[in-house]
Amino acid sequence: MGKLAVVAIGGNSLIKDKNHVDLYSQLATVKETCRQVAELVQKGWNVAVTHGNGPQVGFLIRRAELAMGELPLIPLEFAVADTQGAIGYMIQQSLMNEFRHKGIARQAVTVVTQVVVDQNDPAFQNPTKPIGSFMTEEEAQRHAREDGWTVVEDAGRGWRRVVPSPEPQKIVEGAAIKDLINAGYIVVCAGGGGVPVVERNGLLEGVAAVIDKDYASSLLATAIGADLLVISTGVSRVAINFGRPEQKELDLLSAAEAESYLEAGHFPPGNMGPKVKAILRYLSRGGKEGLITSPGELVAAMEGKAGTRIVAQGQPSVTFSGSFFHDMPGTSTARM
């Protein structure tokens, strides 16, 4: 078996044109990304694909809000599961078609994934993650009374529901995902950070929360022993002094350098911060290296032509040349 990469695709990256957010437009974007993933598979990588779902959950909840007079609202954890299935379907179908075009004898499968969170996580006492559409104050207060929502006024733009974003603790289906990968499948999993569940009296129970998909992808990469964690985003490389005249794109960072830039405020919490933190967590748990790049440059980034690599120390340990993968001198090529 080849090396194993977890490739995290952002939910926002599936929507290129905010004027065209229908599912077929998203499917077209998924196809573009899957061409890149299929090329990685063709070149010898095993891949677990994760994805965001923020906009998609918002659309689903908005549909439910518009139908409130006739149909009940969709509980948030069910909306996460629904979008895992829908986006997973798009990714696995697109990958299967690419495999057929390239003559790759592999199959893709989607695992609806649950992720355990701590019911005592402080996030449950301080919900901050906005979901759904803007509302009037009257609508918001009605939902607060009747549906138990936490609602806040959002910078003069209206009122919104906010939910907790607790830390992921455990991938419930981690062993099954690893078994599928070892059996040769390309697995789509942990969509939207996973369906958040808590353990009560030894049983799992869904909760109304959202998990950061980059943190969940980091946890997954550790759980399945991935050699590389790739996080795709809207830019080719990570930059310091972003948006300023002195902006500088970075090709390679040690974990210590990344931590230093993070503490200095170069990677904001609502933007690049969680992606860098996710990779640092993965490296701190024994991971080899992380890579941040845009969805359309996955292969170029693996070739060192794009993206920002973050390594525990020294030089990258995983790279490839031509049509085969190899390690840097002095490192082992064995994964299993």
Known catalytic residues are 11-12, 129, 213, 275
Residue identified by tokens 């061409």 is 35
Which contacts of 72-80 are long-range, i.e. CB under 8 A and separated by 24 or more positions? 73/147, 75/206, 75/208, 76/131, 76/163, 76/208, 76/209, 76/210, 77/195, 77/196, 77/197, 77/206, 77/207, 77/208, 77/209, 78/206, 80/53, 80/191, 80/192, 80/193, 80/194, 80/195, 80/196, 80/210
Q: Which residues pair with 196 in a beta bridge?
A: 115
Alpha-carbon distance 206 to 117, whole Å?
Answer: 10
Contacts of 315 (CB under 8 A, 6+ apart): 252, 328
Alpha-carbon distances of 63 from 59, 66, 70, 149, rounded to whole Å: 6, 5, 12, 17
Contacts of 46 (CB under 8 A, 6+ apart): 1, 2, 3, 4, 5, 181, 186
Contacts of 68 (CB under 8 A, 6+ apart): none
Alpha-carbon distance 293 to 236, whole Å?
Answer: 5
The tokens for 114 are 């649950």
Amino acid identity at 89? Y
